[in-house]
Structure 1
Amino acid sequence: MRPLGTLVTGLAGLALWAALLSVAGRNIGTRESDTFEIDDMSTEWAEPADITDATPALEPAPAAIPSEALKPLDLSGDGDGTETGVPAEAAAGTTTATQGSNRGVRAVNPELFASPLTEALGPLERVAPLETKTPAPQRVKLVLLPRPESVEAGLIAFGLRNLKLADITSTDRMRVCPTASGGNWPCGMVARTQQRMFLRNRTIACDADKADWEGTIEAHCQVGEIDIATWLAENGWVETPPGSPLGSLSERARSERRGIFGDDQR
């Protein structure tokens, strides 16, 4: 009996809820149909605001620029500083407007002022980069020759092999030179002795192809960083052939009477 009573109570509750919803719907429809009375509104809302008092004062519009001032300028000029073709009144008006607004108006003639970009451009062409090759320094092959023997000034022997120094003429060891008193002195022997003392049996470096040549060769040789032929020419112990790069050194030694070009050096 208890479950039946619970069911009856639930159905009764649903019926009561439905009745309440129906009464609430009728009340809402009645309120929407009521007339809204404007008489209840206060007079402050009914009176319109004074539009004239709320409108701010407008600034006067800038003076219009004469149409003559907007015409293209004739830049040919007649030499007095005034462009031809522009009336004086228009020019004066343009000046006044420019000063008043701090802004100038000037028409640009497209025939006189044109951008280079307006010209038709051709297709792009790839240009090969320039090759900057640094020339490799020329390396000179040097041969070390030990125990040089001075045969004469400008001529060196290594056993049975002889080496003549380039750019100079060797001085014969039997050569004699005149003295200031009218005599002679063995300048060739003294020149050979000076070369021997300069070399002092030190190893010399020469730009020869190989160290085991046969006969006589010609090469540039040096002791340390001093060129042997240059030293002999500067001190006047040898002469130079025509066209030699050491010719100026030999001529200076001759003018200063040094070596074989001077008096007895003993």
Structure 2
Amino acid sequence: MTPARKMLVHAGAALGIGAVALTIMAAKSAHRPSQPIFDPVSTQVRALPPPRHQGAAAAVAPPSPARPISPEVVAPPEIARLELERIEARPPLGDLGLAPPPKRIGPDDWEGTLLYRPVVTSSASFEAMGYTILLSGTKAIGSDQICAFEGISWRCGERALLAFRYWLRGRAPLCQVFPPAERQPVAAACRLGKQDVGAWLVSNGWAHALPGGGYEKAEEVARKAGMGMFGPPD
């Protein structure tokens, strides 16, 4: 093949390739939409604020007022901007919740030891917390003593023991014993609240009054009233 013919063949091939390329480009441009799919406004990116430089004063925008949501449905309450005012407390509705006034200690108030869980051993004695207490000014009735009333005999000693036991059970008398006292039988005056234990026993006829013990008049009253061992069996 001559050189001139080779040049013609190459030129024809180049023209053919260019025609095919133009055809493909025309086909692609026919399928491309005339307008963009996305709104160019919505695809814009909000510019970020410039970075703050250290040492520069940043301007603070005033807070925007709250925008009511559905004012025709929800009515916002009207808030009056008033200063707080302190007022005095109201008086109590009654005296039940008031604290009682402090109790004044009188000169005749006793000092001693509270003896818990007492166990009565006779009509005028008991044991508690290691102490054996004989109530001063009193004399116990023997547990086997028999008393007579209008010709009727009955066990007044046993009844006196039970009466004292029921009265003292579950209570804590305050007795004039001071630790560390020797743990031996000791004559002591005792009280339950404001009640003298010895006076209660003698005035109810469940114990005798010792001479000079201070309970002689109480025994005379019990004897005349027929109390305890001076009265009928019950």
Cα deviation, residue 174, structure 1: 1.5
Q: Give the 4+ runs in structure 1 shifted more than 4 A.
A: 136-140
Residues 137-170 of structure 1 show CA distances to partners (whole Å, capped at 9, x for unaligned) of 4774310110001111111112664110011111
Residues 65-120 of structure 1 show CA distances to partners (whole Å, capped at 9, x for unaligned) of xxxxxxxxxxxxxxxxxxxxxxxxxxxxxxxxxxxxxxxxxxxxxxxxxxxxxxxx
CA distance in 2, matches of 1:229, 1:138: 17
Tell me if structure 1 keeps the 8 A contact 2:202–2:215.
yes
Tell me if structure 1 keeps the 8 A contact 2:116–2:129.
no
Structure-to-structure mapping, 1:13-28, within 5 angstroms: none
1:188 and 2:146 are equivalent in the alignment: no
CA distance 1:237–1:138, change in 2 (3 Å): closer
Q: Which residue of 2 aligns with 1:157?
A: 127
1:197 and 2:197 are equivalent in the alignment: no
CA distance in 2, matches of 1:138, 1:160: 27
1:224 and 2:224 are equivalent in the alignment: no
1:242 and 2:211 are equivalent in the alignment: yes
Q: Which residue of 2 aligns with 1:175?
A: 145
CA distance 1:138–1:186, change in 2 (3 Å): closer
Partner letter of residue 194 of structure 1?
A: A
CA distance 1:156–1:184, change in 2 (3 Å): same
Cα deviation, residue 189, structure 1: 0.9
Gaps of 5+ in 1: 1-135
Q: Which residue of 2 aligns with 1:32?
A: none
CA distance 1:138–1:224, change in 2 (3 Å): closer
1:257 and 2:217 are equivalent in the alignment: no
Q: Please identify which structure carries the higher helix content.
A: 1
Residues 7-32 of structure 1 show CA distances to partners (whole Å, capped at 9, x for unaligned) of xxxxxxxxxxxxxxxxxxxxxxxxxx
SS at match of 1:157: strand
CA distance in 2, matches of 1:230, 1:173: 20
Q: How many residues align?
A: 129
Q: TM-score, normalised by structure 1?
A: 0.45
Cα deviation, residue 179, structure 1: 3.0
Partner letter of residue 263 of structure 1?
A: P
Q: Which residue of 1 aligns with 2:45?
A: none
CA distance in 1, matches of 2:109, 2:173: 18
1:210 and 2:210 are equivalent in the alignment: no
CA distance in 2, matches of 1:201, 1:212: 24
Q: Which residue of 2 aligns with 1:115?
A: none
Tell me if structure 1 keeps the 8 A contact 2:115–2:129.
no
Identity, % of aligned positions = 26
Structure with bigger gyration radius: 1
